[in-house]
Structure 1
């Protein structure tokens, strides 16, 4: 008969193979699953003993997914970091700790800690696993930003995209997980920068993320953007860009009622969307060629 790890005492689990180190960390994400100092110390001893050194990422993924879907994913993530397991399984995330980033008020926050707060925000929002997965990785390119540029992270997207690709291949996640994680890496901060007076940029962004043909994926991207915003200390519950993007998207969809749009080229469609968005947002600027 299979051993029921969910009911096993932590001391028994620690004595089991490497997978159980991850199971203990994953169980910490449950409402009543917080780990005490002694348990985390024993987990670290196991990691230092090398139990994860030859552990295949495909075997780790079910436990990581279990923890991400818990009520408090950050508890799993902190258990992994404090035990040293995060540096073995996801060194790209571990490397984010100690890197500064400006919050919504210009104050400095630790990016690693911010990522863990995002995970909890997504749990509060009951986000699907694909969004919770993407929420771990859109900042990866900031781990080694040049010191002279800090707290800015010049070209972090260029550095982050191949790292996301590598992690997705490592854990063999579904294609839709990979696509959303890559999209968030490339576009999340552009969504944050969206402004009423830049209708052309908003139209280009909606086109670039294929919001018209993949509305569910766009909704997931917006959910992650909201979680990122709310995870900064002192941020409110209302994400300011959500209504702006909803208004812009609705204005573009209203163009579908115009029969002339059926024969429009891609360039003509984008120009029409830009004008529609500018009108809906009462903007005076709608040049498609605006800087992003």
Structure 2
């Protein structure tokens, strides 16, 4: 990550406290870019004084993008949250901190901190920007889950969709960002639940995400799922079993030779693929395909 330290660049920073604040926050995403307590206190006082009130989201995005593409993106998010800027620039993400979710082992974790671990893992894999953003946004609907349903975050997908759309509009993000973010929101938990005994469900999942025609996007989804899994306490060194399972299923689907009429009969093709998956995984042919 580089910053413009030319006389013109420095003059712009000095003339805009908001730009200076975001530049410092973006710098915290670099290795060794941590800020001291005095700097954080000054940034907090500036946010409280309203330096971000007239700073447009689209103007802030280039620096936020720099931070997200840093080696340690959570460093920027932590700084923005500690100085109060995250709540003003990205309230949907800020609202996740302090919200609990059960890990696969039953331990209660903070969702906001979990998303920070996810994006750092994605950064370690040199993931592109749309993947890193999708890795931040798939739990947005869990910020205000009805308390009577906890620890289950009932209908979080329905709540998360408009929040992703709002973020895309606010920062003027590209359509591919929204496409992958929405796909991840809808499918991540289904990927985690994939099981050998549910051949029809696995086939339906692969068809929904177009694992045959959009292989690169499908692989990005799996990378996010893998990082989500590894971000839970105790999972860092464990293999993610769903990736191998789904690849075996995808290869089985690809082995299906389309017969006459299948080209125009999606159900016939689905049934043939499900049978191939069941054979490959040695599972029941028909399980409940509805999730």
Confirm or deny a common fold (TM above 0.5).
Answer: yes
TM-score normalised by the chain length of structure 1: 0.92
Partner of 2:208: 208
Match status 1:57 vs 2:57 = yes
Partner of 1:177: 177
Residue deviations 1:156-177 (CA, integer Å, cap 9, x gap):
0011011101111111111111
Match status 1:99 vs 2:99 = yes
Secondary structure in 1 matching 2:101: strand
The within-5 A match list for 1:1-292 is 4-5=4-5, 16-237=16-237, 238-256=239-257, 258=258, 260=260, 263=263, 265-283=265-283, 285-287=284-286, 289-292=288-291
Distance 1:122 1:78 in 2: 17
Distance 1:61 1:272 in 2: 47
How far the C-alpha of 1:17 sits from its partner, in A, is 2.8
Residue deviations 1:110-158 (CA, integer Å, cap 9, x gap):
1011111111111111111110011111000000001111111001001
TM-score normalised by the chain length of structure 2: 0.93
Contact 2:114 2:231 in 1 (8 A): yes
Contact 1:135 1:224 in 2 (8 A): yes
Contact 2:145 2:154 in 1 (8 A): yes
Distance 1:77 1:71, change over 3 A: same
Q: Which runs of 5+ in 1 are unaligned?
A: none
Distance 1:34 1:7, change over 3 A: farther
How far the C-alpha of 1:4 sits from its partner, in A, is 2.4
Which 4+ stretches in 1 moved above 3 angstroms?
5-8, 12-16, 258-264, 288-291
How far the C-alpha of 1:5 sits from its partner, in A, is 4.1
How far the C-alpha of 1:39 sits from its partner, in A, is 1.3
How far the C-alpha of 1:16 sits from its partner, in A, is 3.8
Distance 1:183 1:40, change over 3 A: same
Distance 1:207 1:21, change over 3 A: same
Structural RMSD (CA): 2.1
Contact 1:204 1:288 in 2 (8 A): no
